[in-house]
Chain A
Amino acid sequence: MSIASQVIDIIAEQAMLDPAEITLESSLAELGVDSMGVVECIFAIEETFDISVPFNANEPSQSDFDISTVGSITKAIEKLVNEAA
Chain B
Amino acid sequence: MARVVITGAGTINALGRDVASTQAAMAEGVCGISALNMRDVDRLSVTIGGQIHSYNEADHFNRQQIALYDRFTQFTLLAAREAIAQSGLIFTGELADQAGVILGTSGGGLTTQDENYRTVYEDGKNRVHPFIVPKLMNNAATAHVSMEHNLRGPSFTVATACASSNHAMGQAFTMIRGGSAKAMITGGSEAMLCFGGIKAWEGLRVMSKDGCRPFCATRNGMVQGEGAGVFVFEEFEHAKARDAEILAEVIGFSMSSDASDIVMPSKAGAARAIAGALRDAQIDRSEVGYINAHGTGTAANDKTECAAVAEVFGPHADQLMMSSTKSMHGHLIGGTGAVELLACLMALREGVIAPTINYQETDPECAFDVVPNVARDAKVDVALSNAFAFGGLNAVIALRRAP
Contacts and interface: CB of A to CB of B under 8 A. Distances in A.
Interface of A: 35-36, 39, 42-43, 52, 55-59, 62
A57 B203 contact: no
A36 B261 CA distance: 10
Contacts of B264: 35-36
Contact of B204 (A39, A59, A62): A39
A35 B262 CA distance: 12
Interface in B12-68: 45
B205 A59 contact: no
A39 B219 CA distance: 19
Nearest to A34: B264
Contacts of B208: 56, 58
Contacts of A35: 264
Nearest to B298: A58
Nearest to B264: A35
Given A36-B264, A58-B300, 7 more contacts: A42-B205, A56-B208, A56-B220, A57-B204, A57-B206, A58-B221, A62-B220
B366 interface: no
Contacts of B299: 57-59
B263 interface: yes
A12 B299 CA distance: 27
Interface string B86-119: 0000000000000000000000000000000000
A35 B298 CA distance: 13
B221 A56 contact: yes
30 contacts: A35-B264, A36-B262, A36-B263, A36-B264, A39-B203, A39-B204, A39-B205, A42-B205, A43-B203, A52-B45, A55-B205, A56-B205, A56-B206, A56-B208, A56-B220, A56-B221, A57-B204, A57-B205, A57-B221, A57-B299, A58-B206, A58-B208, A58-B219, A58-B220, A58-B221, A58-B298, A58-B300, A59-B220, A59-B299, A62-B220
Nearest to A36: B263
Nearest to A62: B220
Contacts of A42: 205
Interface in B198-241: 203-206, 208, 219-221
Contacts of B221: 56-58
Contacts of A52: 45
Task: Tell me which of B203, B205, B220, B264 has the highest count of chain A C-beta atoms within 10 A of its own C-beta.
Answer: B205
A57 B263 CA distance: 12
Contacts of B262: 36
The 7 closest A-B pairs by CB, nearest first: A58-B299, A57-B205, A58-B221, A58-B220, A59-B220, A57-B206, A39-B205
Nearest to A54: B45
B61 to A, nearest CB: 39
Nearest to A52: B45
A55 B133 CA distance: 37
A62 B39 CA distance: 31
Nearest to A40: B203
